[in-house]
C-alpha cells in the first residue's frame, strides 16, 4: 500500500493567526492554520509562505531565523534581493519573505489598506514563486488565498512553469468576493506579466472597467481549482445581483458571476471549520467555569458571572449552591434542573459578537436589541466598527443603555470577553445580509448558545431551523429567517423565545445537540484533499498521455 503524500504550499498575505489571540484580525488567518494543521495530520507536507510584515508578533513563531540565501526577484525591470526567514507556527513551517525594496512594502505597521497594495502584493507573488523555484521545491499543490496572492496563478503558467517549476496544480480560495483588488491594467507589467495578453475579457480584464485588471478574475481563469468558503456562498456568487440594496451591500459575485458560472466545473464551496482546541468550553481558561454538554451547570454560572461583570440584573436567576461543597455533583444536578425548568422572564440572554459593518446587518442587530427588550430578555453586544457613522450610532445606543438592567453594548475588540459571551448567552444572533462562511454561528453552538441566523452563505449551510420539516430532525439546530428586515428578525427571535420558555427539557436537548456538532477542520480538510488528489491525478494522466 502506498501512502500518497502531497506537498502543499500555501501562499497567503493575511496575518496568520500566529497564536496571538489578541491580534487576530479576521477569519483568514484561522483558515490557513486550521486547514494546514488538518492536512498535516492527514500525512501531507504543508508549508506556508507569507510576507514578513513588521506588525506580526514574531515571539509566537518558534525557532525564527534568517536563511543564509538571498532570493532575487524581478520587479519594474530590475532584480531585487529578498531576505528569507523561516520558523514554525503551531507546528507548521512558515517562510517569511522580506523584500529589500526601497518602498519597504511590508513595513507599514498594518497588513492591508495601503495606497500601493496592488504593487506590494504583485511583488510578493512573484518573489514567492521565485523562492519555490530557487529552492528546488516540487509542490503538488500551490494554494493561494484572496486577491493578494491571486497573481500567482497567471505568473505560474506564463512565467514559472516554462522555467521548470511545473510540478504543481494551482488552487485559489476566495474568502470574500467583495475584495477583488482591481487596478489600472498597466500596473500589471511591474511583475513581468504581459499586459496586452492578459487584459482580455476571457483573462484578467475586469468585467465592468475595461482598462482595469482584476486579480480575482485572473485567479479564477488560471487556477486548476477555485474554491470559496461555503456551498451556499458559491451558489450566491454565481448569480447576478438584482436589487439595488444587494449591489450596495456587496451581495453576490460583485461582477464576477458570469466568470464564475463559465468556470463552474472547477469552482466549489467548502465550509470552513473552527479551531476546536481554542474554542472548547470544557477547557476554556477565559471562562469562570468550564462546562460540557453533559454538565451545563457551568454555563449558568458563566451567565451569572457575566451579568455581574457587566452590571446587568441577576435578580431572576437562582443562585447555584457552592460549587466546592462535598456534594458538588448533587447540587450541580439540582441547580441544573432549576436552571432549565424554572425559567423566569429575564433569564434569556441574546449574545452578538461582530464587526459592525453593513454586511453584518447592523440595522437588524439594532432592531434585535429593542425586540429582545420587548420580549423580556437580555442583550449583550460586543462589536466595533471601522465605519465612523455606524460606530457613532452604536455609541449612541450604548450610552442610552449604559445603566440599563438588561442591555449592554461593549464597543471594542475583546477576545477574552467574547469567550465569556459565547458561554453566557442562550441565543446568538447573526442577521447578516451576506456571509461567505461565518465562524460565530459555529463557535456559539459549541458553547451551547443557539444561533438565530439569516439564511445566507455559510449560515445557511450550518444553521437549520428547528421548525423546518424539509430538514431531518437530527440536523435542526437553530432559528433562521430569510427576509433581511425587521419582520424576518421578529419571526425567528419570537419563536426562539417561545421555544426556550415552553419546554425546558426540549431546550436542553437542543443545547446539548448543538454542543456535540463536529465543527473541526477534519471534514473540510478531507474535501480539500479530495480536490487536490483529483487535480493531481488528472495532471499526471494528461502528462502520461502526452
Nearer to ligand ADP, 38 or 271 (CB): 271
CB-nearer residue toward ligand ADP: 433 or 511: 433
Q: Does 255 bind ligand ADP (CB under 6 A)?
A: no
The single residue among 12, 199, 207, 440 that binds ligand ADP, judged by CB under 6 A, is: 440
What value does the CA radius of gyration of the chain take, rounded to a whole number of Å? Answer: 25
DSSP letter for 145, please: E
3-state secondary structure of 223: coil
**By CB under 6 A, how many residues form the interface with ligand ADP?**
16
CB of 397 to ligand ADP, least distance (A): 15
Determine, following the binding rule CB under 6 A, whether residue 114 of this chain makes contact with ligand ADP.
no
- When asked if residue 439 is in the footprint of ligand ADP (CB under 6 A), the reply is yes
452 binding ligand ADP? (CB under 6 A)? no
Helix axis angle for 504-515 and 328-341, nearest 10°, is 110
269: contact with ligand ADP by CB under 6 A: no
180 binds ligand ADP (CB under 6 A): no
Q: Which of 20, 292, 384, 503 binds ligand ADP (CB under 6 A)?
A: 384
Give φ, ψ of 478 to 5 degrees.
Answer: -170, -155
Q: Which stretch binds ligand ADP (CB under 6 A): 12-20, 322-330, 349-357, 536-544?
A: 349-357
Among 438, 448, 451, 484, binds ligand ADP (CB under 6 A): 438
Shorter beta-carbon distance to ligand ADP: residue 139 or 436? 436
- Find the DSSP H helices in 12-74: 27-41
SS3 state at 484? coil
Measured from the CB atom, the residue of 249 and 439 that comes closer to ligand ADP is 439
Of 142-150, 208-216, 336-344, 381-389, the segment contacting ligand ADP by CB under 6 A is: 381-389
Grid cell 514554525 in the structure block, residue:
88
Q: Does 13 bind ligand ADP (CB under 6 A)?
A: no
What stretches of 76-204 adopt beta strand conformation (E)?
Answer: 78-89, 92-99, 141-145, 169-174, 183-184
Min separation Cβ 176 and ligand ADP, Å: 7
Nearest to 440 by CA among 424, 456, 419: 419
**Rule CB under 6 A: is residue 433 a binding residue for ligand ADP?**
no
Least Cα distance to 47 among 177, 182, 141 occurs for 141
Asked if 371 and 490 count as a contact pair (C-beta separation under 8 A), the reply is yes
Neighbour tally for 224: CB within 10 Å: 21
Residue closer to ligand ADP by CB (options 93, 358) is 358
Q: Pick the binder of ligand ADP from 84, 271, 353, 463 (CB under 6 A).
A: 353
**Residue 258 Cα distances to 70, 217, 394, 480, 520, angstroms:** 42, 10, 38, 29, 33
Q: Which residues ranging from 18 to 77 are in contact with ligand ADP (CB under 6 A)?
A: 26-27
Is residue 112 within the footprint of ligand ADP (CB under 6 A)? no
Q: Residue 401 is placed in which grid cell?
A: 443603555
Estimate to the nearest angstrom the gap between the alpha carbon of 38 and the chain centroid: 16
Q: Which of 173, 122, 125 is nearest to 146 (CA)?
A: 173
Q: How far is the CB of 418 from ligand ADP (least distance, A)?
A: 4
* Bridge partner list, 4: none
Span from 124-132, 285-293, 347-355, 482-490 in contact with ligand ADP (CB under 6 A): 347-355
Q: Residue numbers of the site for ligand ADP (CB under 6 A)?
A: 26-27, 353-355, 382-384, 413-415, 418, 437-440
Amino acid at each position: 500500500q502506498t501512502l500518497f503524500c502531497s506537498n502543499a504550499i500555501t501562499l497567503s498575505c493575511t496575518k496568520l493567526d500566529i497564536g496571538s489571540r489578541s491580534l487576530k484580525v479576521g477569519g483568514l488567518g484561522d483558515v490557513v492554520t486550521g486547514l494546514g494543521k488538518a492536512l498535516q495530520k492527514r500525512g501531507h507536507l504543508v508549508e506556508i509562505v507569507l510576507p514578513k510584515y513588521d506588525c506580526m508578533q514574531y515571539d509566537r513563531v518558534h525557532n525564527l531565523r534568517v536563511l543564509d540565501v538571498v532570493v532575487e526577484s524581478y520587479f519594474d525591470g530590475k532584480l531585487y534581493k529578498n531576505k528569507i526567514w523561516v520558523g514554525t507556527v503551531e507546528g507548521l513551517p512558515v517562510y517569511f519573505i522580506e523584500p529589500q525594496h526601497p518602498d519597504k512594502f511590508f513595513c507599514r505597521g498594518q497588513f492591508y489598506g495601503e495606497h500601493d497594495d496592488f504593487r506590494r502584493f504583485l511583488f510578493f507573488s512573484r518573489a514567492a514563486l521565485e523562492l519555490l523555484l530557487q529552492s528546488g521545491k516540487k509542490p503538488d499543490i500551490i494554494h493561494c488565498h484572496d486577491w493578494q496572492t491571486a497573481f500567482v496563478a497567471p505568473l505560474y503558467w506564463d512565467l514559472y512553469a516554462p522555467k521548470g517549476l511545473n510540478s504543481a496544480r494551482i488552487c485559489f480560495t476566495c474568502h470574500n468576493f467583495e475584495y477583488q483588488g482591481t487596478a489600472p491594467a498597466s500596473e500589471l507589467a511591474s511583475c513581468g506579466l504581459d499586459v496586452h495578453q492578459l487584459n482580455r475579457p476571457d483573462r484578467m480584464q475586469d468585467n465592468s472597467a475595461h482598462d482595469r485588471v482584476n486579480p480575482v478574475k485572473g485567479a479564477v481563469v488560471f487556477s486548476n481549482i477555485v474554491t470559496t468558503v461555503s456551498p451556499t456562498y458559491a451558489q450566491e456568487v454565481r448569480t447576478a445581483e438584482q436589487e439595488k440594496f444587494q449591489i450596495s451591500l456587496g451581495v453576490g459575485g460583485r461582477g464576477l458571476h458570469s466568470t464564475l458560472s463559465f468556470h463552474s466545473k472547477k469552482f466549489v464551496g467548502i465550509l470552513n471549520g473552527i479551531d476546536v482546541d481554542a474554542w472548547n468550553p470544557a477547557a476554556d481558561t477565559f471562562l469562570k467555569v468550564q462546562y460540557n454538554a453533559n454538565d451545563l451547570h457551568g454555563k449558568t454560572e458563566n451567565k451569572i458571572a457575566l451579568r455581574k461583570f457587566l452590571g446587568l440584573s441577576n435578580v431572576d436567576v437562582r443562585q447555584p449552591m457552592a460549587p466546592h461543597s462535598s456534594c458538588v455533583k448533587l447540587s450541580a444536578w439540582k441547580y441544573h434542573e432549576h436552571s432549565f425548568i424554572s425559567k423566569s422572564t429575564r433569564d434569556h440572554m441574546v449574545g452578538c459578537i461582530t464587526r459592525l459593518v453593513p454586511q453584518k446587518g447592523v440595522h437588524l442587530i439594532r432592531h434585535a436589541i429593542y425586540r429582545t427588550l420587548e420580549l423580556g430578555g437580555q442583550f449583550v453586544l460586543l462589536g466595533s466598527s471601522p465605519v465612523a457613522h455606524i460606530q457613532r450610532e452604536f455609541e449612541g445606543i450604548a450610552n442610552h443603555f449604559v445603566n440599563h438592567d438588561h442591555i449592554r453594548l461593549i464597543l471594542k475588540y475583546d477576545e477574552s470577553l467574547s469567550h465569556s459571551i459565547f458561554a453566557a448567552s442562550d441565543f446568538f444572533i447573526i442577521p447578516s445580509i451576506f456571509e461567505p462562511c461565518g465562524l460565530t454561528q459555529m463557535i456559539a453552538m459549541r458553547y451551547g448558545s443557539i444561533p438565530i441566523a439569516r439564511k445566507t452563505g455559510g449560515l445557511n449551510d450550518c444553521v437549520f431551523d428547528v421548525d423546518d420539516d424539509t430538514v431531518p430532525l437530527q440536523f435542526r439546530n437553530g432559528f433562521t429567517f430569510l427576509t433581511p428586515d425587521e419582520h424576518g428578525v421578529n419571526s425567528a427571535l419570537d419563536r426562539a423565545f417561545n421555544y426556550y420558555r415552553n419546554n425546558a427539557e426540549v431546550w436542553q436537548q437542543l443545547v446539548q445537540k448543538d454542543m456535540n456538532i463536529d465543527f473541526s477542520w477534519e471534514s473540510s480538510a478531507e474535501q480539500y484533499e479530495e480536490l487536490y488528489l483529483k487535480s493531481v491525478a488528472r495532471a499526471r494522466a494528461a502528462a502520461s498521455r502526452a
